[in-house]
């Protein structure tokens, strides 16, 4: 790994017993960004759904037997919004303002202010899946052992279609006209008229997840492995007319697609995440082994989000590539006893204080003073009479 320094600022504090010069650099070491999935600060939950705005800045996540959480900084921080329910699936408009979430054994809920407030819609059913158009106006939701429903007014009213099936996963084109549905113990179903009519395609399997490109041409579906049969990913580049199969006999659970459909993501329940950069022609494993339940990505395919449950998994929300946090600031202050306090925020426990007596030197040492933590800052107390010293914070991550 390569390390580099970036000097943030240099400041001096004149003390009665000498001069203490403090230097604040940021030392960063990292591997290739494409190889690291970072767990976010979201709490440990049985996460069942995650969705993102077009740029993946605004995120929404739901937990079964938990609440709804939102983030406005790509997952760096999270805020709990709605109360505890059996949340099953969630979808977001491109701007991240209009959201829709469904509950198993409950209602459909919509938000028009990025998840701050939620309004119950439709009749209580075993809702299992939901998808949204880019503007959040046209929605599609499926019921487990029920029908598939569509809305043309952002979820205010809903219209049932088709017959009773295991509607496990749905995906939508950007305008909501082309839809794809993963149906358990049946085929993949396609609609080209906003969900009014549906046509079965592909082979019969235990289909669980489905996703669509913005134009509805590139599709991906995931099937669970049941008694040694099925368990595959299926991709289509012609709006579902024909399908190609990858990775049989695996417990595929969730899939996502970027806007043009070239970059895809899929998750195994009890396995790894897989990424494709060529519309599913090839797939590469990525990330840790986990019970992946939901994935999402930015429209350009530059950012990915993945969630896992807590039953025997990690129960965390991950992002890829990793977030780049702002570096901590070093501070120096004079005490009444003519000593100096060099400090930085307690939250940055993975940063280490180093010192040098000459900036021209490349060697930095650990200060001999004991580090203390008062819960707000980590600090050392320095005697300026020792002579001029320079300090910096460094991190191996």
48/129 same-domain check: yes
Instruction: Work out whether the CA dihedral 264, 176, 231, 256 comes out positive or negative.
Output: positive
pLDDT of residue 93: 98
99/225 same-domain check: yes
Q: Which CATH number goes with the domain that contains 57?
A: 2.130.10.10
pLDDT of residue 397: 56
Looking at 320, 343, 377, the residue that finishes a domain is: 320
In the chain, the number of structural domains is 2
373/294 same-domain check: no
109/201 same-domain check: yes
Looking at 271, 297, 320, the residue that finishes a domain is: 320
pLDDT of residue 24: 40
Q: How far apart are CA 203 and CA 221, in angstroms?
A: 11
* Residue 385: φ, ψ to 5°: -70, -15
335/316 same-domain check: no
pLDDT of residue 12: 33
286/335 same-domain check: no
Looking at 320, 355, 371, the residue that finishes a domain is: 320
20/144 same-domain check: no
Q: How far apart are CA 243 and CA 247, in angstroms?
A: 13
Q: Assess contact for 111 and 118: CB atoms under 8 A.
A: yes
Cis amide linkage into residue 314, ω under 30° from 0: no
Question: Which bin fits 374, alpha (ψ -120 to 50), beta or left (φ > 0)?
Answer: alpha
Kindly give the confidence (pLDDT) of every residue in the chain, 397 residues in length, as a single tens digit, with 9 standing for 90 and above.
222 222 222 223 333 333 334 434 333 333 333 458 999 999 999 999 999 999 999 999 999 999 999 999 999 999 999 999 999 999 999 999 999 999 999 999 999 999 999 999 999 999 999 999 999 999 999 999 999 999 999 999 999 999 999 999 999 999 999 999 999 999 999 999 999 999 999 999 999 999 999 999 999 999 999 987 789 999 999 999 999 999 989 999 999 999 999 999 999 999 999 999 999 999 999 999 999 999 999 999 999 999 999 876 689 999 999 987 677 888 888 888 889 999 998 878 888 999 998 888 788 999 999 999 998 899 999 988 888 888 898 887 5
Q: How far apart are CA 37 and CA 107, in angstroms?
A: 33
pLDDT of residue 360: 81
Which positions ≥6 away from 291 have C-beta within 8 Å? 269, 270, 308, 309, 311, 312, 313, 314
pTM of the model: 0.78
132/231 same-domain check: yes
Adjacent-strand bridge partners of 119: 110
pLDDT tens-digit readout, 157-195: 999 999 999 999 999 999 999 999 999 999 999 999 999
148/88 same-domain check: yes
Q: Assess contact for 316 and 40: CB atoms under 8 A.
A: yes
* Residue 270 CA to its chain's centroid (Å): 18
333/278 same-domain check: no
19/165 same-domain check: no
pLDDT of residue 35: 55
170/286 same-domain check: yes
Q: 296: which 2 tokens?
A: 């999402």
Domain encompassing residue 169: 37-320
Q: 280: which 2 tokens?
A: 């599913």
């Amino acid at each position: 790994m390569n390390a580099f320094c970036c000097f943030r600022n240099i400041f001096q504090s004149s003390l009665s017993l000498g001069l203490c010069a403090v230097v604040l650099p940021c030392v960063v070491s990292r591997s290739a960004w494409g190889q690291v999935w970072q767990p976010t600060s979201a709490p440990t939950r049985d996460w069942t759904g995650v969705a993102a705005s077009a740029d993946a800045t605004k995120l929404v996540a739901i937990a079964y037997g938990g609440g709804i959480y939102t983030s406005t900084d790509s997952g760096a921080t999270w805020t709990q919004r709605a109360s505890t329910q059996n949340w099953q699936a969630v979808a977001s408009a491109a701007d991240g303002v209009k959201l829709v979430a469904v509950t198993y054994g409950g209602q459909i809920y919509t938000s028009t202010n990025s998840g701050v407030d939620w309004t119950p819609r439709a009749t209580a059913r075993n809702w299992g899946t939901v998808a949204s158009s880019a503007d959040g106006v046209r929605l599609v939701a499926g019921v487990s052992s029920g029908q598939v429903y569509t809305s043309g007014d952002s979820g205010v009213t809903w219209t049932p279609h088709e017959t009773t099936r295991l509607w496990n996963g749905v995906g939508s084109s950007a305008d909501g006209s082309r839809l794809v549905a993963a149906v358990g113990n049946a085929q993949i179903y396609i609609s080209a008229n906003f969900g009014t009519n549906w046509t079965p395609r592909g082979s019969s399997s235990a289909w669980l997840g489905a996703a669509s490109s913005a134009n509805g041409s590139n599709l991906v579906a995931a099937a669970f492995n049941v008694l040694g049969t099925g368990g595959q990913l299926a991709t289509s580049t012609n709006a579902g007319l024909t399908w190609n199969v990858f990775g049989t006999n695996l417990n595929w659970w969730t899939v996502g697609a970027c806007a043009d459909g070239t970059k895809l993501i899929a998750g195994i329940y009890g396995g790894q995440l897989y990424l494709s950069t060529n519309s599913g022609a090839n797939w590469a494993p990525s990330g840790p082994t986990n019970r992946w339940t939901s994935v999402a990505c930015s429209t350009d395919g530059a950012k990915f989000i993945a969630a896992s449950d807590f039953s025997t998994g990690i129960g965390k929300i991950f992002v890829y590539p990793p977030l780049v946090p702002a570096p901590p600031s070093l501070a120096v202050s004079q005490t009444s006893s003519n000593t100096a306090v060099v400090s930085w925020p307690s939250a940055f426990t993975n940063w280490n204080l180093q010192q040098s007596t000459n900036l021209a030197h490349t060697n930095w040492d650990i200060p001999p003073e004991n580090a203390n933590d008062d819960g707000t800052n980590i600090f050392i107390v320095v005697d300026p009479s020792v002579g001029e010293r320079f300090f910096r914070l460094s991190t191996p991550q």
